[in-house]
Amino acid sequence: MSDDPLLDIADLRIAFDGVTAVSGVSLCVQRGEAVGIVGESGSGKSATMLAAMRLHPPNAAITATRLNLAGDDVLKISEPALRRLRGGIAAMIFQDPLTALNPLMTIKSQITEVLRTHQKMSPRSAKIEAIDLLTSVGINDPKSCAQKYPHQLSGGMRQRVMIAAALAGDPALLIADEPTTALDVTVQAEITRLIATLQRERGMGLVWVTHDLALMAGVVDRVVVMYAGRVMETARVSALYAAPRHPYTAALLRSLPRLDGQRGRTLQGAPPASQAAPGCPFAPRCAHRMTKCEEMPPMFSAGETQAACWLMA
């Protein structure tokens, strides 16, 4: 059991009302490992993570050869087991902390709710535990914060509360879906540091979904680059930044603003609207395009790096 990877996805396909959003994504997160998923809007990164917790909307049709969380098949387990899984094995925090908290419940009740769902706890000890959790996510005055409603808190505070609620079930895997996108730049750095610290202290697995390559560099061990519902490249974070193997990854990195004052180079064009065309979805925007690209490349390995590009063949 404990040898199983925390999250094991093989050949995941998702379609919304017949429109393909994710076509054949495979990825794996080991215990204690931090993985970043990078991609543009609509690349299927959020859809993949929602499916991993069976939180996808009812109009999503999902198939996968494997979709396991800590050894359990997410698509097949019973509702009660699924509830234990959610929050207990894997918890998820979302992009927008303004809307992700129940506006009509105090901070304390939202955290104790999770505590009491996953651990048989008296209201009293749940309250104490909630205060501890709020302290651990860096809230200065946890007692008064616990009595407040979400609208009384700042964006950064709310995201901290979200993290506290996610940690309340003591999950082995934390999925953070663009946790800093809605926040101020200074707060972004704080939240990023907080999540990195918590991940290390608790030995949690972490999936960090983002479109911000720079922000996650210091947090994750490995990066998965997604484009148009496919995995383009997987690599250790240092290798990816030093020598990106896929032209898309390289283009993404070039588009980052640089310290020497040069503007990043914009990636021309837009991702395909649908994935009807066979072949590499990045080919129309790719500088290294070959005739072979009309056929979808398989994953080629080079050391610890894998990339779906004919250049690697």
Partner 1 sequence: MSLRRSQKNIAGPISAVLICAALFFALAAPIVAPYRPTDINLRQRLLPPSWEAGGSAHHLLGTDNVGRDVASRMIWGARISLSVGFCAAFFGAVIGSTLGLFAGFFGGSTDRAVSWLIDVQLAFPFTLFAIFLLAVFGGGFVPVVAVLALATWVNFARVVRSQAMSLRAQNFVLAARAVGVGTPRIFWRYLLPAVLPSIVVVGSFSAAQAILTQAALSFLGVGVDPSIPSWGAMLDLGRNYLQTAWWMATFPGLAIALTVLGANLLGDWLSLRLDPRG
Using CB under 8 A as the criterion, which residues of the chain lie in contact with partner 1 when the complex forms? 53, 55, 58, 83-88, 91-94, 96, 99-105, 109, 113-114, 117-118, 162, 165-166, 168-169
Question: Is the Cβ of residue 124 or residue 151 nearer to partner 1 in the bound state?
Answer: 151
Token pair for 201: 């202290």
Question: Is the Cβ of residue 94 or residue 310 nearer to partner 1 in the bound state?
Answer: 94
Classify residue 299 as exposed, middle or buried by CB count within 10 Å of its CB (0-12, 13-18, 19+). middle
Classify residue 252 as exposed, middle or buried by CB count within 10 Å of its CB (0-12, 13-18, 19+). buried
Q: Hey, which residues does 20 pair with through a beta bridge? A: 15
Question: Is the Cβ of residue 55 or residue 312 nearer to partner 1 in the bound state?
Answer: 55
Provide the 3-class DSSP secondary structure of residue 232. Answer: strand
Question: Is the Cβ of residue 162 or residue 223 nearer to partner 1 in the bound state?
Answer: 162
For the bound state, the minimum distance from the C-beta of residue 88 to partner 1, rounded and expressed in Å, comes to: 6
For the bound state, the minimum distance from the C-beta of residue 242 to partner 1, rounded and expressed in Å, comes to: 35
For the bound state, the minimum distance from the C-beta of residue 99 to partner 1, rounded and expressed in Å, comes to: 4
Question: Is the Cβ of residue 34 or residue 91 nearer to partner 1 in the bound state?
Answer: 91
Question: Is the Cβ of residue 103 or residue 303 nearer to partner 1 in the bound state?
Answer: 103
For the bound state, the minimum distance from the C-beta of residue 98 to partner 1, rounded and expressed in Å, comes to: 8
Number of residues that make up the chain: 313
What contacts 267, CB < 8 A, 6 or more positions away? 251, 252, 254, 255, 285
For the bound state, the minimum distance from the C-beta of residue 171 to partner 1, rounded and expressed in Å, comes to: 8
Question: Is the Cβ of residue 65 or residue 152 nearer to partner 1 in the bound state?
Answer: 152
Q: In angstroms, how far is CA 274 from the centroid of its own chain?
A: 23
67, HSE (Cβ side, Cα atoms, 13 Å): 20
For the bound state, the minimum distance from the C-beta of residue 227 to partner 1, rounded and expressed in Å, comes to: 25
DSSP for 14-83, please give it. Answer: EEETTEEEEEEEEEEE-TT-EEEEE--TTSSHHHHHHHHTT---TTEEEE-SEEEETTEETTTS-HHHHH
Give me the sheet containing 222-227, strands edge to edge.
Answer: 90-93, 173-177, 205-210, 34-38, 222-227, 230-236, 305-307, 300-302
Question: Is the Cβ of residue 72 or residue 221 nearer to partner 1 in the bound state?
Answer: 72
For the bound state, the minimum distance from the C-beta of residue 21 to partner 1, rounded and expressed in Å, comes to: 17
Q: Are residues 19 and 274 in contact, defined by beta-carbon separation less than 8 angstroms?
A: yes
For the bound state, the minimum distance from the C-beta of residue 70 to partner 1, rounded and expressed in Å, comes to: 14
